[in-house]
Amino acid sequence: MPLLWVKLHGMTQDGPTRRDVLKAGATAAAITPVLTQPVLAGAAAPSGAITLLVNGERHQVEVEARVTLLDALRERLALTGTKKGCDRGECGACTVLADGKRIKSCLTLAVMQEGREITTIEGLAEGDELHPMQAAFLKHDAFQCGICTPGQIMSAVACVAEGHAGSDQEVRDWMSGNLCRCSCYPNIVDAIREAAGR
Amino acid sequence: MIVGRPMSRIDGFAKVTGRARYAADQQVRGVLHAYLVMSTVARGRITAVNTAGAEAAPGVIAVFTHLNMPRLTVPAPTHGFFKRYLPMQSPDVHHQGQPVALVVARTLEEAQHAATLVEVAYDARRPQSRLEEVMNEAFVPPPGSDGPNELTRGDVAAGMAQAQVRLEAAFHTPIHHHNPIEPSATQAIWDGDRLTVFESTQSLMNTRHSLSQAFGIPLENVRVLSPFLGGGFGAKGPVWPHTILTAAVARRLRRPVKLVLSRAHTYTSNGHRAETVQSLRLGARRDGRITALEHIVTQQVSRTEQTQFNSSEPTRMLYAIPNLRSVQRVARLDLPAQSFMRSPEAVTAHALECTLDELAYELDLDPIEVRLRNHADVNPEDGRPWGSKYLRECYRIGAERFGWSRRDPRPGSMRDGDMLVGWGMATAAHTAGGRPGSGVTVTLGTDGKATVRSATQDIGTGTYTVMTQIAADVLGLPVYDVSFQLGDSDFPEAYTSGASATVPTVGSGVNLAGTRALERLMALATAAGPLQGLPAARVAAADGYLFDREQPRRRVSHRAVLRAHGRPIEVTLTPPAAPLGYSTGATFAEVRIDPRTGRVHVSRIVGVFDPGRVLNRKTLRSQAIGGAIWAIGFTLSEHTLVDPATARIVNANLSGYLVPVNADVPHIDVSFIDKPDPASAALGARGFGETPMTGVTAAIANAVFHATGRRIRTLPITQDRLL
Ligand code: FES
Ligand code: FES
């Protein structure tokens, strides 16, 4: 068997670092191919204090520019209801609302969301009073392990608000950006249709 | 009865509000963030590492490689450490995506960035990753936990000679990845030589034993916590190196450390469903009776382990086949360790059930009829009767619900406008249980409420909910007076949540411990008070009261008895091993295929199953739907692609590896026979979670044949294969 000599700079399998993403523009992350060469830079990333408005509360947080909204929520604000399933826009587990619109919080930087009103799963219920979408998910067993559920529910709330819940098929199409590996899709459709009807 | 009710999940409120804390969500003060650097070559040795750049990067606390990683003991495979070696203990590289360095930093971003600065040089050899190229090196491994890898029953040559029809078919199934939406996460916290880990695991037991062995510390010193798990499907049943490496660096640094795998890392860190090549030779008489079957399955294993997981129970147990040869072979490739993945038996079942469809066409018989004529009235493995089996009813009810009698069997005969329509069916079947019993503690407090504890897991299957229901029924308490707790290894040890074993092993434990606790309560109640002097047989319990069966008004509350007693009643036990169950069903699928593009859309699925007694119709239905949807992915879209030149996985993500999305999924009609299995000690319920994915895979493939006349024996059935 022939020997191959391979000398490669260390790279993660994840492709570009957050720094590359910053250069390329944040929205390019989802389509950047894997196994591109990272930029070998060592200097500290710029950082500073920003104000995030989350669930009606103002939070002063110190973040580097490369920190995603998702990691700011999870790792700085201890708002762990928003989940990370892929960190590259493929699964929807990180879905939150920004000024009422659904976004994938792994695909945007925290600094870009200053001044927007962010709503996460923690901000949906009024105390222990569930939002109708949460109640419908519970009633229809629209989850099993529950890890995709915060993202599904935030996406579902927006789906209804967008007027995309008029038929089962419309819900299926407009909810296809949120993966559920436990595969509760039919129950998710039932829950959304019921909540939309209210 | 509380059991059977379609109760909403007890953990549901926590899950819909975001309050459920999964392993990576737990807040640990002062925790450091770790990130892995993975090997870029598949076979070879590390010749040099340069960590200077990473060490100098802002926020970095330490960089570990094989040179400075603490030395660890490789845990025994008996507790789920299948891989048989720990990376970063030597310069050897056994597969692409093996950890070669681990960076620890103050923040996640700092760790991720510094990981890109680690430079590794390899002396790499050309890897082999093509199963078809090593078929001549395949071998039959020693027997595993699921029986022999080579089994002969009767005389296949004689059976083939009796046959009037003979079929031969070869199938190929690709690598699959579990892809739970929660990537594996570990947070390790040391206090002296005591270790606590928040771990995303399907097995507190396996994790605890493996950590104790790796560090040479007593079992009592290891506590594993996993109150919520974001899906596993087998990925988190075994113990994998990253968990141990995270604990090792936390110990060295004397700081808590958190590691969350990236999606890409999970593709080489958590096992996978191995690629298979299968060959079948089948002989039958004109009346449909199978006279002989030979089924040889060959699957990939890695260079370091050789356990066969794509096992052949369907071939051996599902039909009464008098002459049988079933062989399970393995061949080594330079790929990561493979492992079990939801419904391991689906792989061989798919080939068998597709071949039976071919037989039906060959004989001009209805596919259901072929299956009925070979129905196994007793377990063909040992000739013993089943605990219960209502498969015939499943076929009948399923055919009715689907409208099967309206099917024109001729391929290509059914259309809807331009679309080709196909109807297919197959039998669903999976073994369940047959594993050691799980420990349970039942405590009846002086407030009359019960706490039930077991170091089991709820992987989304509804363990919290159905165990509460069983306990409430057995103890005669309302559900809100029962608290079922899991996910803490300080509770009595329980078996892995896998192999459809949770209901049989934990359910029987809750039943047995609950029954003992109630007996003790009854003994107290009949010693004094309103029920004094009654024989125990005359006392029943329901809704928080013990009462005289003959005069139900003569009663006393649990609370009154316990208060008078002045201290709690506590029973801890481990039930005997759960018997191996076999849960079956009948599945039907309709596909619509665009003849211009070859795109297959599943437009209808019907499944009727026999899971024994239904403990909770709501959660069980969800499991059945989930299985059916997994079958859509298995048959039509999921495959992990490996570059043969480098043995690298090229689609280690969720955009190149296609799991079903909402728009891929039609209405799914699920029903259950719901009759208790007398062999079950879990109130008549059998393990079931893995049954509903089986059957549906072949039902879809058979429907594709019905629609197009094309028999696609290589999965997944993608558009290119139909054009
Ligand atoms: S974590 Fe953001 S889409 Fe997956
Ligand atoms: S509920 Fe488990 S991934 Fe959706």
**What is the model's pLDDT at position A37?**
37
B291 contacts B284 by C-beta, under 8 angstroms: yes
pTM, two decimal places? 0.94
Judge if B366 and B442 occupy the same domain: no
**What is the model's pLDDT at position B147?**
80
Residue nearest to atom 3 of ligand 1 (CA): A89
B128 contacts B74 by C-beta, under 8 angstroms: no
Q: Which of A38-42, A152-156, B641-645 has the lowest mean pLDDT?
A: A38-42
Distance CA B339, CA B273 (A): 6
Judge if B55 and B198 occupy the same domain: yes
In a domain, B362, yes or no: yes
pLDDT above 70 covers what percent of chain B?
A: 100
pLDDT (average), residues B309-320? 95
Categorize the per-residue pLDDT at B202 as very low, low, confident or very high, splitting at 50, 70 and 90.
very high
| Among A86, A138, A144, A155, residue to substitute to test ligand 2 (most atoms within 8 Å of Cβ) | A144
pLDDT above 90 covers what percent of chain B?
A: 96
pLDDT (average), residues B183-205? 98
In a domain, B321, yes or no: no
Decide if A183 and B626 are in contact by the 8 Å CB cutoff: yes
pLDDT (average), residues B587-603? 97
pLDDT of B272 > 80? The answer is yes
Q: Which of A21-35, B40-54, B227-241, B328-342 has the lowest mean pLDDT?
A: A21-35
pLDDT of A2 > 60? The answer is no
Q: What is the mean pLDDT of chain A?
A: 83
B539 contacts B546 by C-beta, under 8 angstroms: yes
**Which strand (E) or helix (H) includes residue B247?**
helix B241-253
A87 C-beta closer than 6 A to ligand 1: yes
pLDDT of A65 > 90? The answer is yes
A19 contacts A39 by C-beta, under 8 angstroms: yes
Judge if B116 and B261 occupy the same domain: yes
**What is the model's pLDDT at position A39?**
39
What backbone phi and psi angles, to 5 degrees, belong to B187? -125, 120
Judge if B480 and B383 occupy the same domain: no
Instruction: Identify the three-state secondary structure at position B622.
Output: helix
In a domain, B325, yes or no: no
Cα B683-B540-B455 angle, rounded to 5 deg:
40
Could you say which ligand is closest to the alpha carbon of residue A148? 2
Q: Using the mean position of ligand 2's atoms as its centre, give its distance from the Cα of residue A97 in Å.
A: 20
Judge if B23 and B85 occupy the same domain: yes
What backbone phi and psi angles, to 5 degrees, belong to B480? -75, -5
**What is the model's pLDDT at position B419?**
97
* Interface contact B641, partner A, CB < 8 A: no
Q: Which of A24-28, A179-183, B297-301 has the lowest mean pLDDT?
A: A24-28
Distance CA B676, CA B680 (A): 8
pLDDT (average), residues A102-128? 96
Distance CA B702, CA B719 (A): 16
Burial B250-289 (b: 16+ CB within 10 A, else e): bbbbebbbbbbbbbbbbbbbbbbbbbbbbebbbbbeeebb
What residues contact residue B372 under an 8 Å CB cut-off, 6+ apart?
Answer: B392, B395
Distance CA B305, CA B524 (A): 55
pLDDT (average), residues B89-103? 98
**What is the model's pLDDT at position B563?**
97
* Interface contact A179, partner B, CB < 8 A: yes
E-strand stretches of B611-656: 642-643, 648-649
Judge if B544 and B606 occupy the same domain: no
In a domain, B380, yes or no: yes
CA distances (Å), origin B382, targets A2, B291, B317, B385, B578: 51, 19, 9, 9, 17
**What is the model's pLDDT at position B1?**
82
Partner-chain residue, chosen from B8, B118, B231, that has the shortest CB–CB distance to A139: B8
pLDDT (average), residues B555-570? 97
pLDDT of A76 > 60? The answer is yes
Task: Write out chain B residues lying below 8 Å of A67, CB-based.
Answer: 109
pLDDT of A23 > 80? The answer is no
The model's pLDDT over B520-540, given as tens digits with 9 standing for 90+, comes to 999 999 999 999 999 999 999
In a domain, B188, yes or no: yes
Question: Which atom in ligand 2 lies closest to the alpha carbon of residue A143?
Answer: 1
DSSP B322: S
In a domain, B38, yes or no: yes
Q: What is the CATH number of the domain that holds B103?
A: 3.90.1170.50
Which residue in B430, B407, B360, B419 sits closest to B631, CA to CA?
B430
What backbone phi and psi angles, to 5 degrees, belong to B695? 85, -60
DSSP B292: E
Tell me how many domains chain B contains. Answer: 3
**What is the model's pLDDT at position B87?**
98
Amino acid occupying residue B263: R
Domains defined along chain A, listed by start: 4-38 (no CATH), 49-123 (3.10.20.30), 132-197 (1.10.150.120)
- The secondary structure of B209-241 as a DSSP string is HHHHHHHT--GGGEEEE-S-----TTTTSS--H
Task: Write out chain A residues lying below 8 Å of B663, CB-based.
Answer: 172-173, 176
pLDDT (average), residues B637-651? 98
The model's pLDDT over B119-160, given as tens digits with 9 standing for 90+, comes to 999 999 999 999 999 999 999 999 877 789 999 999 999 999
In a domain, B317, yes or no: no
Asked which of B551, B573, B595 is the last residue of a domain, the reply is: B573
**What is the model's pLDDT at position B486?**
98
**What is the model's pLDDT at position A36?**
35
- The secondary structure of B44-106 as a DSSP string is EEEEEEE-HHHHHSTTEEEEEETTTSPP-PPPPGGGT-TT-S-TTSSSEE-STT-EEEEEEES
pLDDT of A28 > 90? The answer is no
E-strand stretches of B434-544: 440-444, 450-453, 482-485, 539-542
Cβ count within 10 A of residue B633: 23
pLDDT of B163 > 50? The answer is yes
**What is the model's pLDDT at position A45?**
62
Distance CA B153, CA B155 (A): 7
CA dihedral B211, B215, B221, B222 (to 10 degrees): -20
pLDDT (average), residues B540-561? 97
Q: Using the mean position of ligand 1's atoms as its centre, give its distance from the Cα of residue B377 in Å.
A: 49
Tokens for B173, please give them. Answer: 């199934």
A147 C-beta closer than 6 A to ligand 1: no
**What is the model's pLDDT at position B578?**
87
**What is the model's pLDDT at position A16?**
38
Neighbouring-strand partners of residue A129: A126
A150 contacts A82 by C-beta, under 8 angstroms: yes
pLDDT (average), residues B665-690? 95
pLDDT of A12 > 80? The answer is no
**What is the model's pLDDT at position A44?**
57
Judge if B252 and B354 occupy the same domain: no
Q: What is the CATH number of the domain that holds B717?
A: 3.30.365.10
**What is the model's pLDDT at position B399?**
98
CA distances (Å), origin B554, targets B22, B58, B548, B549, B559: 47, 74, 6, 9, 15
Helices A185-197 and B617-636 pack at an angle, to 10 degrees, of: 120
Which residue in B585, B667, B665, B671 sits closest to B621, CA to CA?
B671
Judge if B540 and B688 occupy the same domain: no
A192 contacts A160 by C-beta, under 8 angstroms: yes
pLDDT of A43 > 60? The answer is no
Q: What is the mean pLDDT of chain B?
A: 97
Question: Which atom in ligand 1 lies closest to the alpha carbon of residue A94?
Answer: 2
Judge if B450 and B559 occupy the same domain: yes
What residues contact residue B250 under an 8 Å CB cut-off, 6+ apart?
Answer: B32, B188, B189, B190, B256, B257
What residues contact residue B587 under an 8 Å CB cut-off, 6+ apart?
Answer: B398, B425, B426, B427, B428, B605, B606, B607, B608, B628, B692, B695, B696, B699
**What is the model's pLDDT at position A198?**
58
Judge if B373 and B474 occupy the same domain: no
For chain A, positions 121-140, list CB contacts with chain B under 8 A: 121-122, 124-125, 130, 134-135, 137-139
Judge if B585 and B687 occupy the same domain: yes
- Token pair 């308490």 is found at B477
For ligand 2, residues with CB inside 6 Å are A 143-149, 180-182, 184; B 181, 231, 460
Q: Which of B470-479, B497-506, B542-551 has the lowest mean pLDDT?
A: B497-506
Distance CA B355, CA B346 (A): 14
DSSP A104: E
Which residue in B270, B260, B273, B281 sits closest to B240, CA to CA?
B270
Categorize the per-residue pLDDT at A154 as very low, low, confident or very high, splitting at 50, 70 and 90.
very high
Burial B88-126 (b: 16+ CB within 10 A, else e): bbebebbbbbbbbbbbbbebbbbbbbbbbbbbbbbbbbb
What residues contact residue B570 under an 8 Å CB cut-off, 6+ apart?
Answer: B441, B442, B443, B444, B517
Q: Which of B323-332, B501-510, B582-591, B711-720 has the lowest mean pLDDT?
A: B501-510
The model's pLDDT over B476-502, given as tens digits with 9 standing for 90+, comes to 999 999 999 999 999 999 999 988 888
Judge if B650 and B706 occupy the same domain: yes
- Residue B473 domain boundaries: 435-573
- The secondary structure of B5-20 as a DSSP string is --PPPTTHHHHHHT--
pLDDT of B182 > 50? The answer is yes
Distance CA B485, CA B463 (A): 10
Asked which of B525, B555, B573 is the last residue of a domain, the reply is: B573
pLDDT (average), residues B285-314? 96
Decide if B25 and A173 are in contact by the 8 Å CB cutoff: no
In a domain, B39, yes or no: yes
Which residue in B619, B591, B273 sits closest to B469, CA to CA?
B619
DSSP B176: B
Amino acid occupying residue B94: H
Q: Which residues of B are catalytically annotated?
A: 690
Helices A185-197 and A132-139 pack at an angle, to 10 degrees, of: 140
pLDDT of B188 > 70? The answer is yes
Asked which of B573, B601, B635 is the last residue of a domain, the reply is: B573
Tokens for A132, please give them. Answer: 């109708």
Distance CA B431, CA B146 (A): 10
